[in-house]
Chain A
Amino acid sequence: MDQLGSVGIVSPQLFKFDEPLELACGRVLSGYELMVETYGELNSDASNGVLICHALSGHHHAAGYHSEDEKRPGWWDHYIGPGKPIDTNHFFVVALNNLGGCHGSTGPRSINPDTGKAWGREFPPLRARDWVHSQSRLAAKLGIRQWAAVIGGSLGGMNAMRWALEYPERVRNCVVIASAMKLSAQNIAFNEIARRAITTDPEFHNGDYLKYNSLPRNGLALARMIGHVTYLSDELMGTRFGRELRQGSFERGLEGPIEFQVESYLRYQGDSFSGSFDANTYLLMTKILDYFDLAREYNHDPVQAFRHALSKFLVISFSSDWRFSPQRSEEIVNALVAANRDVSYARIESDLGHDAFLLPNERYEAVFSAYMQGVAADIRTERANSRGGA
């Protein structure tokens, strides 16, 4: 069973929550739904649950395939599966589409029960802590009192750290990859450019595009193109595309359009994204990123914040990631050390930029696997001890 492999064919499940959820903004959601996928088996004492927190454009489909015909597996399939770092032979892995998302969970595209119409721009603004609270109810439904690990990259890393602070006794390990305690001004600026691209698209209709039966495709595509450039490194774009032409020529006497490979690549990325993602969700998610500040309510002191955590931490960064640079991760690590929390940190050499956290990398896999094997070993030890004591 230990061979490296895929979790195979998986099907998402919709979980309904009827209890009202009070949000950080003060508004209340009378109920909500979360689209969830799980991989592996929950053990009898429910101690092997692992929560996967997705990034800006992520969703519940983190591993495996929905059908034989699906071309690409879930977004983190490199790292979730039998024999992989998040080993489904040991862990019961829970991946969900976060509240506010557009892949089946309650979000701007869902029906507002008060009006009978899609929420659209009326959907309440969310914070990472709202995700944590909604996820905590999901944990309760699954019978998981304490996560063996809460894991996330980028925005998902913020979600994971918030878990460790909101419910310290319910997180044994917190894995924070290519993330930050708060965004820099430059980062917020990129998000604002992306939002501006969406909101100035004439098809946006002030967020009510669904009422007008339209979609701000251009704006959303442009937002994604901007984002995508910042997720890659200059080096990677140089090696992958260089100045290669997709069509046309600079030869004298030749007319006709000239197109660089990188232009066509970006256009493809933008177009495919704008066809599958909701513009209001994009605005909402980028705002959650911008507003996140781990230590805001701890006197802006991250050391004080992390003193509330009880979990162990693994922090990973990537050398060429300039959107969530290694320095941001090192700030997390320094605060954890000063707060006397268990933490390990690896700065992975990679030229893949921010996207490196999703892609294969031998050293990243080795570090991640070594840590998660320790988590699995701790579960085995604890179970053996409790059996011995019983």
Chain B
Amino acid sequence: MLRLDLDILKQWIARSSRVLDLGCGDGTLLHSLKQSHDIEGYGLEIDAAQITACIAKGVNVIETDINQGLSHFGDDSFDTVVMTYSLQTLKRPDKTIAEMLRIGKECVVTFPNFGSIRARSHLVFKGRMPVTKQLSWQWYDTPNIHFCTVKDFEALCRDMNIRILNREFTTQHSPDRQLKGIWPNLFGETAIYHLSK
């Protein structure tokens, strides 16, 4: 996770709150939130090496296949449920988002915006599926099976009656930084959404 994305996300996490991180990777986010916000955090992860990395950091990690459902977590049992850069890997992102909003009072979701100019131009000019620094997979071996754009995501939020509390967009390309505020679906590379029921 990029430093900038992390800083944005952190503004929406309350001090000493309970945080569940879906697809927590090596535990960097939870470790950082523990230090800066004194949170009580748990990460869910399926990758063996990442789980060991979390344990080595002293981050609570629970081996879980998110696609199998999260019914073992109670309603509103967390203050915030976070999912960074995992939305596009899920079998049914809509069902997982519904679960996140059931378990958490609020949610934070970050995802790569497939409507960004970089992704669009890859397809338009190269005629190839977008391959970027952050998403360096080829179409046939990628774990990212459900890409969406900012517009797609907001349409889903409308359909599911999800409230968008905040949204931010980031990009690594400096010329795009001014423009992402005006035209996020074109110039935001990463979308960061703060949601509630």
Contacts and interface: CB of A to CB of B under 8 A. Distances in A.
B40 interface: yes
B2 interface: no
Interface string B34-63: 000000101000001001111110111111
B74 A338 contact: yes
A334 B40 CA distance: 15
B60 A370 contact: no
Interface of B: 18, 40, 42, 48, 51-56, 58-63, 72-74, 77
The 7 closest A-B pairs by CB, nearest first: A370-B56, A370-B55, A345-B62, A334-B72, A347-B63, A366-B52, A344-B61
B56 A342 contact: no
Contacts of B72: 330, 334
A246 to B, nearest CB: 38
A345 B61 contact: yes
A346 B74 contact: no
Interface residues of A, number: 20
B60 A371 contact: no
A333 B52 contact: no
Listed residue (A330, A337, A338) with the most chain B CB atoms within 10 angstroms of its CB: A337
Listed residue (B40, B63, B72, B74) with the most chain A CB atoms within 10 angstroms of its CB: B63
Nearest to A341: B60
A239 B84 CA distance: 42
* Residues of A contacting B: mostly: helix
A211 interface: no
Contact of B62 (A333, A363, A370, A374): A333
Interface of A: 314, 330, 333-334, 337-338, 340, 342-347, 363, 366-367, 370-371, 373-374
Contacts of B73: 334, 337
Contacts of B18: 340
B58 A345 contact: no
Given A337-B73, A338-B77, A367 B60 contact: no
B58 A374 contact: yes
A305 to B, nearest CB: 16
30 contacts: A333-B62, A334-B72, A334-B73, A337-B42, A337-B73, A337-B77, A338-B74, A338-B77, A340-B40, A342-B60, A343-B42, A343-B62, A344-B59, A345-B61, A345-B62, A345-B63, A346-B48, A346-B55, A346-B63, A347-B63, A363-B48, A366-B48, A367-B51, A370-B53, A370-B55, A370-B56, A371-B55, A373-B56, A374-B55, A374-B58
Nearest to B57: A374
Contacts of B59: 344
B25 to A, nearest CB: 14
A373 B53 CA distance: 12
Contacts of A342: 60
Nearest to A375: B58
Contacts of A340: 18, 40
Contacts of A347: 63
A370 B63 contact: no
Contacts of B54: 344
